[in-house]
Amino acid sequence: MIRARAMKRFGRVLLLLAAAVAASLAIGVDARAETVYNFSVSVDYTGPYAAVMDSWHGGQVAMVDWWNKTRGKELGVRVNLKTYDMRYNPSVVAQNWPSILSGDKPILHLGMGAPDLISLMKRLPEDKVPMIMGTAMVGTVWVPNGWHFSSRPTYSHEFAGLFEYLAGKLPEKRPLRIGTVSTQGVSGYVDIVNGVVKLAKMYPDRFQVVESVWVDIQPINITNEIRRIAKEKPDVILTANNTAQVIATVKALKELGMKVPVVTSSHNGLNEVAKAVPLEDLEGSYSVFAFAPYMDKGVKQAADIFNKYNTSKGTWGTTAAQNASQAILSLRTLERAISKVGAANVTGQAMYDALMAGEFPESGFLGLLPALRFSKDAPFPTGDIKVKAITVRNGKIVSLSDKWLPVPKLDKW
Amino acid sequence: MLPSGVYFESFDREGRYLRTKPQIACFVGLLVLLAGFPFLSNDYLLGIASMMYITMIAVFGLQITVGMAGQINLGQSAFVGIGAYVAAALSGSAGLPFWMTIPAAGLAAGSASILFGLPAVRVKGFYLALTTIAAQVIFPIVVIRLPVAWFGGPNGLAMEPAHIFGRTLGSPMEMYYLCLAVLLVLGTFAFNLQRSRVGRAFRALRDNDIVPGVLGINPFRYKILAFFGGAFFGGISGALYAYFVRYVTTDQFTLWLSVWYIGMLIVGGLHSPLGAILGTLFITGVQETIHHVGTLLLASHSGISGGIVFASTNVVLGGAIIITLIFEPYGLAHRWNLIKAAYRIWPYSHN
């Protein structure tokens, strides 16, 4: 009797042991099946963009976490974001990059802005690591055969898309009259104006730059300068550089008793300006960029993903949408690379090849981006470039149009 | 001050920087430590060290102009920028090797500085500060407006890493040794300059504007020379920076950077090249520590936002500088000299 009981107990223990071994084997098999790839990420938590970094990085992290739990699981791949605080400083990027390369062996770098481009542009082709940016490009980095990319074209291209739309809405047949506010001595800022001047030269019947004024980077009052633009009766005033310049432009227009729409980008857009200026003063102004606005109906799935997976204090808005689109392009590139070389063999070169391997359909981007096709000619999509814009209508920031706005062809300036 | 019993029998020996065997041993130990640093650290620390050496060279230059000759210069970053652009242009379009581009960058920056040094003959103090700020303001505008074929216009210039004997100096360790080698050469020059005939003329100019002329020192010549020397160092620093970052645009050389250079020199001590070393070490150390602590705070999910951390880092850094100046208004180099003197006459007190 006792022996039988002991045998029974022994049998149970054996069963438990077998189950434990089977479970651990299953986990082991599962773990072995999962391949982990590193994406290195430049952020700026202790530099000038620290205030928006929660939403910025939150957009990237949410998309990657969602992908890991869905598509990544199916493919047996997990993406690990290796985040580096670069302080928005090219020297810090240059300092960090060698240790990122040797330590993380990233297959892709998610860049943040000009410092990444400055420090890494020449190194990436040698290091065989492509970089995808979330910000728009500038003409200064428009070089062929680079390994730096953005889903967004140059700022000038993005403005051209909006200007094309506005020119088409003019009541009479004449060029759209554009005034520009910018700063000399900052190459990126000058470049944006140069791109718009090139646009006007290419299409003199559609666009005319009537006056360009140059102001301080952080101006206090630019009423005199805006008066000079106002004399030329502009249809729009382009203020592409920073929020301070947009605020100064809007205040100057108010002081002069004028209503001229101000055109801005994503980084100095309406949401940011509205923190300092009442929305009624921004009525009719625009922000334009080559990703979908956060309030677009089409980006609901992306917004839901952000709200579900975001663990930061960031909120869904222009910044989060911009960087979610950067992340989703990177992840679709990885999927394509996996389909070409297999889940276990993805390298930086495979990611680059995947970027070059034809069009990324719009359907893969959760409504955040239009269809994109990269080539060796430029660090941004060539071919049909499209943008979307937001505007202030009846005291509310709304999408200008549900449809993507086409960008006219713009040659290098 | 030397301890009792330590004396020299010749002026030559007394005039040396390294006068005793322990001093020589310490210096050799330091050199061995610097040379061995790459084997004790990682790529990230090597990057920080390389950047610190590059900055140190620019601050050495500032010490010559401001500390040694007493000519205020708030545009050192513009001269660093000129050096960077010249090195990038010469290595790119002309294909010159780094051992030619680096001195050429120094000479170009030095030559450009003469233009801004000329007013020093007639004005000083705030007025001179304004002319050097003008250099800072004019630099990006001119570079952007020059023909694109020269300096890339608004596009800036990309550059290849330095090469020597067919070998690319692209790795962090190679870059570290390049920066260290240049720093040692220029550091030796800066330390010896202050004791040379030119250095004594500079100090005479710093201490009094009129007397040097009476003593046969040509103020015009030496003021220009002070600007040239300072900017020469700045240009070389810029060339190394260009090789380090490998892309040059005007945005990298701001007035803000010039202010930092001045800050480093003041914290370190204006009147000695040692001040440039200690100031750069101190500010870089504090910056990196604060940044590291800030990053840890953010990573700890303490609920502090990134914006607050950034603002705090600047406040803490500014506070550190203020506290240093309150307790050591003559700079860290002065404190170092006091410690050295106290050590030498220990156990007796040093007053």
Q: CB–CB of A94 and B246 under 8 A?
A: yes
Chain B residue whose CA is closest to A93: B245
Average pLDDT estimate for A20-31: 50
Average pLDDT estimate for A20-49: 72
Residues of B in contact with A87 (CB under 8 A): 291
Residues of B in contact with A41 (CB under 8 A): none
Q: Give me the pLDDT at residue B119, please.
A: 84
Residues of A in contact with B160 (CB under 8 A): 122
Domain count for chain B:
1
Q: Give me the pLDDT at residue A89, please.
A: 87
User: Does the pLDDT value for residue A27 go beyond 60?
Assistant: no
Chain A residue whose CA is closest to B45: A95
User: Does the pLDDT value for residue A2 go beyond 60?
Assistant: no
Average pLDDT estimate for A78-84: 94
Residues of A in contact with B245 (CB under 8 A): 90-91, 94, 118-119
In a domain, B314, yes or no: yes
Average pLDDT estimate for A402-406: 95
The minimum CA-CA distance between A247 and chain B, rounded to whole Å, is 21
Q: CB–CB of B250 and A188 under 8 A?
A: no
Average pLDDT estimate for A129-134: 97
**How many Cβ contacts (< 8 angstroms) between chains A and B?**
120
Q: Give me the pLDDT at residue A22, please.
A: 53
In a domain, B6, yes or no: no
The minimum CA-CA distance between B176 and chain A, rounded to whole Å, is 11
Q: Which of residues 322-361 of A touch B (CB under 8 A)?
A: none
In a domain, B312, yes or no: yes
Q: Give me the pLDDT at residue B346, please.
A: 81
Residue type at position A203: Y
Domain with residue B155: its CATH number is 1.10.3470
Please, what are the domains in chain A? 35-153+296-382 (3.40.50.2300), 156-289+390-406 (3.40.50.2300)
- Which among A45, A117, A123 has the least Cβ separation from residue B306? A45
The minimum CA-CA distance between B39 and chain A, rounded to whole Å, is 14
Percent of chain A with pLDDT over 90: 77
The minimum CA-CA distance between A339 and chain B, rounded to whole Å, is 34
Give the burial class of A286: count Cβ atoms within 10 A of its Cβ; 0-12 exposed, 13-18 middle, 19 or more buried: buried
Q: Cis ω on the peptide bond leading into residue A144 (within 30° of 0)?
A: no
- Which among B46, B50, B298 has the least Cβ separation from residue A45? B298
pTM: 0.81
Residues of A in contact with B313 (CB under 8 A): 46
Chain B residue whose CA is closest to A84: B295
In a domain, B24, yes or no: no
Q: CB–CB of A188 and B251 under 8 A?
A: yes
A104 touches chain B (CB under 8 A): no
A90 touches chain B (CB under 8 A): yes
B294 touches chain A (CB under 8 A): yes
In a domain, B9, yes or no: no
Q: Give me the pLDDT at residue B3, please.
A: 76
Chain A residue whose CA is closest to B290: A46
Q: CB–CB of A119 and B246 under 8 A?
A: yes
- Which among A99, A118, A194 has the least Cβ separation from residue B245? A118
Reduced 3-state DSSP string for chain A:
CHHHHHHHHHHHHHHHHHHHHHHHHHHHHHHHHCEEEEEEEEECCCCCCHHHHHHHHHHHHHHHHHHHHCHHHHHCEEEEEEEEECCCCHHHHHHHHHHHHHHHCCCEEEECCHHHHHHHCCCHHHHCCCEEECCCECHHHCCCCCCEEECCCEHHHHHHHHHHHHHHCCCCCCCEEEEEEECCCCHHHHHHHHHHHHHHHHCCCCEEEEEEEECCCCCCCCHHHHHHHHHCCCCEEEECCCHHHHHHHHHHHHHCCCCCCEEECCCCCHHHHCCCCCHHHHCCCEEEECCCCCCCHHHHHHHHHHHHHCCCCCCCCHHHHHHHHHHHHHHHHHHHHHHHHCCCCCCHHHHHHHHHCCCECHHHHCCCCCCECCCCCCCCCCCCCEEEEEEEECCEEEECCCCCEECCCCCCC
Confidence of residue A29 (pLDDT cuts 50, 70, 90): very low
Q: Give me the pLDDT at residue A12, please.
A: 64
Greater confidence, B5 or A83?
A83
Q: Give me the pLDDT at residue B197, please.
A: 94
The tens place of each residue's pLDDT in chain B, 351 residues long, gives: 677 778 888 888 888 888 888 889 999 999 999 999 999 998 889 999 999 999 999 999 999 999 999 999 999 999 999 999 999 999 988 889 999 999 999 999 999 999 888 887 788 888 888 888 988 989 988 988 888 888 888 778 888 888 888 888 888 999 999 999 999 999 999 999 988 999 999 999 999 888 888 889 999 999 999 999 999 999 999 999 999 998 898 888 989 899 999 999 999 999 899 999 999 999 999 888 888 887 777 777 666 766 677 777 778 878 888 888 898 889 999 999 999 888 888 887 755
In a domain, B319, yes or no: yes
User: pLDDT by residue (tens digit) across A227-254?
Assistant: 999 999 999 999 999 999 999 999 999 9
Q: Give me the pLDDT at residue A25, please.
A: 47
Structural domain boundaries enclosing B309: 31-344
Greater confidence, A187 or A130?
A130
In a domain, B13, yes or no: no
Chain A residue whose CA is closest to B255: A185
Residues of A in contact with B141 (CB under 8 A): 184-185
Residue recorded with tokens 């004791």: B195
DSSP letter at B162 equals E
Lowest mean pLDDT among A49-63, A231-245, A358-372, B308-322: B308-322
Greater confidence, B213 or A78?
A78
- Which among A53, A94, A184 has the least Cβ separation from residue B306? A53
Residues of A in contact with B42 (CB under 8 A): 99
Q: CB–CB of B44 and A188 under 8 A?
A: no
Residues of A in contact with B249 (CB under 8 A): 114, 118, 140, 187-188
Q: Give me the pLDDT at residue A179, please.
A: 97
Residues of B in contact with A187 (CB under 8 A): 140, 144, 153-156, 249-251
In a domain, B19, yes or no: no
What is the value of ipTM here, to two decimals?
0.74
The minimum CA-CA distance between A188 and chain B, rounded to whole Å, is 7
- Which among B47, B251, B305 has the least Cβ separation from residue A313? B305
